[in-house]
A and B are shown apart, each in its own frame.
Chain A
Amino acid sequence: MDSLARRTLHALGWQDEAPGSEDGHVTSPAAQQLSVLTGIWARQIDAARSHGSGSVDKLTGLFAGIERQLAEAIEMTEQAAKAMQGSGDSGMAGAVDVARERLQHVMGMIESAVASNHALFEQVTQAVQAVRELNETAQSVEKISQMTTLLSINARIEAARAGEAGQGFAVVADEVRRLAAQSRQESQTIMARVARIEAVIQGTSDAAEALKQRDRELIERSRSDMSGIVDELGDSMQRVMETSVSLCDIGQAARMSVTEALIQFQFQDRVSQRLHHVQLSAERLGEVLQRDWPQAQQVDALNANLLSSYTMPEEGRIHRNEAEPDDDSDGLVMF
């Protein structure tokens, strides 16, 4: 019985027994039981290995799903942002410009309609002016009739002074006075009628002026309201675009984190491999113990076998109980 086997037995609390006959093929009961125990080790290690692998596989699957969903979300957000920023009439910004342009067009039509109204108002103003001139003419006619009246009365007085010689002239002067009175009456009738017309036209003119003022205010208000709405729309779109861009950035960062996490999950492969190597070694020891306590060369063979099964330099170092080198690049081999 070599020292390794004895050390193992001691560790398990077994009594040191007298070595059995080396040539006989009678298996020692202790070796038999130790063989069973190595079987238990191997099964436990296998169970732990498969449990870890299963869990990590599931986690990896979940993370891969998250990564895919993130990728889709980023793709969609990017497309939306692109649609909004799109040049010409296709993008939302383009749509805002088109809306602004159309509003401008509508405002132009309203303004030209109002302008044609203004032309009408202009004519009304001209009518007011014409009526005033008419009134002035009627007034000057009245003035002339007034002067004629005075003239006729003066003529009548002069005729009276002339005595009998002025008789015929006095009659003419009276007739002139009557005519003057008549023309004065007519001019007053004209003035009264003109005043009525003037009142009507003035009323129309006032209404037109009020309308003009109201039109001006209406246009001003419509213009500011409409441009305000379009500006707000543009601002909202700008904010949405900015938000979607930052959403894309955040999504990208999250995606990179998940990818990093997926890489980190590959530790499970290394853990699994190591456990597998230990498990195989335990199984081989069990096989040896089935027959009898192993000989020294058998233990060496087991040792050499374990050492040869390693795939990572780190495993060998741990096996040989060596210190980890400063440059650990060999320990971080990517699969």
Chain B
Amino acid sequence: MDITVPHVVREASARGDLAARGNPARQGTAQYLTFHAAQATYAMGIGTIREIIEYGSITTIPLMPAFIRGVINLRGAVVPVIDLAARLGFPPAAPSRRTCIVIVEMGHEGELFEMGLVVDGVSEVLELSPADLEPPPTFGANIRSDFIQNMARIHGNFVIVMRLEQVLSIDEVSHLARMGLTTEARE
């Protein structure tokens, strides 16, 4: 088995030199993160993603909807955390070794707010061209159709691309933002 690091890095650099796949100048391509939630694979555009962190140290907040897991302290900032599975109408995620939190940036009234999404694990970042994307189906999906942005063909399978601004709706964002601000103000 050839897994020596120098070789792989050399190989990776060689591929980078080709600059064929990862060229943002290519017309219409965009990069997506694939991840697992509620025993299925989903994708989302990486444009809104700040970073991905390990799951842990969530402070639960009382009197909140079930899909709001609580808040985390991200480098001093209070960030609310949403359970994606619960938000989609499935049972809440059971934390495991691969569970992690995707930190996203949501814009509202000219301001940016950070939010966390609990997922069962992240897979990879890949580039999709418009040819890989299909419009959302009118029926047959087991989640709300307004949560679906596209159907992406990845490795021969159809994967739902999340419409994140819908999943994390403005009302909820502002509500959570208020909660985040008040908590921040108190600190």
> Is B51 interfacial (CB-CB < 8 Å)?
yes
- Once the chains bind, are A171 and B13 in contact (CB under 8 Å)? yes
Contact partners of B53 in chain A: CB under 8 A = 150
Bound complex: CA of A187 vs CA of B52, how far in Å? Answer: 23
- Once the chains bind, are A167 and B125 in contact (CB under 8 Å)? no
- Once the chains bind, are A179 and B5 in contact (CB under 8 Å)? yes
- Once the chains bind, are A160 and B8 in contact (CB under 8 Å)? no
Task: Say what secondary structure dominates the interface of chain B.
Answer: mixed
Question: Which of A1-9, A141-149, A232-240 lies on the face that meets chain B?
Answer: A141-149
> Is B74 interfacial (CB-CB < 8 Å)?
no
Tell me which of B9, B17, B97, B125 contacts A157 (CB under 8 A).
B125
Bound complex: CA of A169 vs CA of B122, how far in Å? Answer: 20
- Once the chains bind, are B122 and A149 in contact (CB under 8 Å)? yes
Contact partners of A175 in chain B: CB under 8 A = 8-9, 11-12, 15
Bound complex: CA of A143 vs CA of B11, how far in Å? Answer: 25
Which bucket holds chain B's interface residue count? 20 to 34
- Once the chains bind, are A170 and B33 in contact (CB under 8 Å)? no
Bound complex: CA of A159 vs CA of B127, how far in Å? Answer: 13
Bound complex: CA of A157 vs CA of B22, how far in Å? Answer: 12
Task: Say what secondary structure dominates the interface of chain A.
Answer: helix
Bound complex: CA of A126 vs CA of B46, how far in Å? Answer: 50
- Once the chains bind, are A157 and B51 in contact (CB under 8 Å)? yes
Bound complex: CA of A143 vs CA of B46, how far in Å? Answer: 24
Interface string of A156-183 (1 = CB under 8 A from B): 1101100110011111111111110011
Interface residues of A in 129-144 (CB under 8 A from B): 142-143
> Is A288 interfacial (CB-CB < 8 Å)?
no
- Once the chains bind, are B51 and A142 in contact (CB under 8 Å)? no
Shortest beta-carbon distance from B145 to chain A in Å: 28
Q: A157-B46, A164-B23 are in contact. List 4 more A-B contacts (CB 8 A).
A: A170-B125, A172-B9, A176-B12, A179-B3
Residue pairs across A and B with Cβ atoms less than 8 A apart, 16 shown, are A143-B97, A146-B97, A153-B33, A153-B52, A157-B49, A159-B22, A160-B46, A164-B24, A168-B13, A170-B16, A171-B21, A175-B11, A175-B12, A175-B15, A179-B8, A183-B3
A-B pairs with lowest CB-CB distance, top 4: A175-B12, A171-B16, A168-B16, A156-B125
List A residues at the B interface (Cβ < 8 Å). 142-143, 146-147, 149-150, 153-154, 156-157, 159-160, 163-164, 167-179, 182-183
List B residues at the A interface (Cβ < 8 Å). 3, 5, 8-9, 11-13, 15-17, 19, 21-25, 31, 33, 46, 49-54, 97-98, 100, 122, 124-125
